[in-house]
Copies of this chain bind each other. A is one copy, B any other.
């Protein structure tokens, strides 16, 4: 098994990087984090990944892997426990469906507009945020929380009986909103309980220590009882 000398090129508030970090932490695989600002297009980083995206996993022998879910599934294949994908084809399909739902529509409709307008645009261009885009992201968030709440009320974890990529993806995206003080659980009690359960796992602690220049986390971010 390859689990020595792993490096992860990441940006702390990128939810896809967070999903891979949580995967490594849940599997107990030590990794050295390399802080990367992909928008700077550092030539050294582009040698590692010509496409310029994070996360990138760099292995001892110089092999690199990118594509967040490709990396996540790779880690699940080379380190079998805990299995983050379910036991049956139908179980895995449900976990992959939800993971894809968080990483695709949820990110596009909610996390991207809020993160871009409130943080990244300010860092990149020093331009003012567009309030209409932030408002749209917040309105979309309510619809998504409704479905998360529905799932959380019926299952121990979002994808079924056990912790899975569905939880890690969901918590990764929500934790970015949490950092920005965007979460209000009013009306979503089951979703709130589920998120508190994931957030209080020891594996989550390193993410709660993340700080990004230019913005401090919301006062609730490190509060496990919120």
Could you tell me which A residues sit within 8 Å of B by CB distance? 51, 63, 65-71, 73-74, 77-78, 89-90, 92-98, 100-101, 104, 147
Give the number of copies in the complex. 2
User: When A and B form their complex, which 4 residue pairs have the shortest distance between CB atoms, in order from nearest?
Assistant: A67-B97, A70-B96, A74-B93, A70-B97
CB distance from A47 to the nearest CB of B (A): 16
The SS class assigned to the A binding surface is helix
User: With a CB–CB cut-off of 8 A, which chain B residues contact A90?
Assistant: 63, 65, 74
Cβ-closest chain B residue relative to A57: B93
The residue that A77 contacts in the complex, of B74, B92, B97, B100, with Cβ under 8 A, is: B92
Cβ-closest chain B residue relative to A103: B104
Q: Please determine whether A92 and B74 come into contact, CB atoms closer than 8 angstroms.
A: yes
User: With a CB–CB cut-off of 8 A, which chain B residues contact A95?
Assistant: 70
CB distance from A68 to the nearest CB of B (A): 8
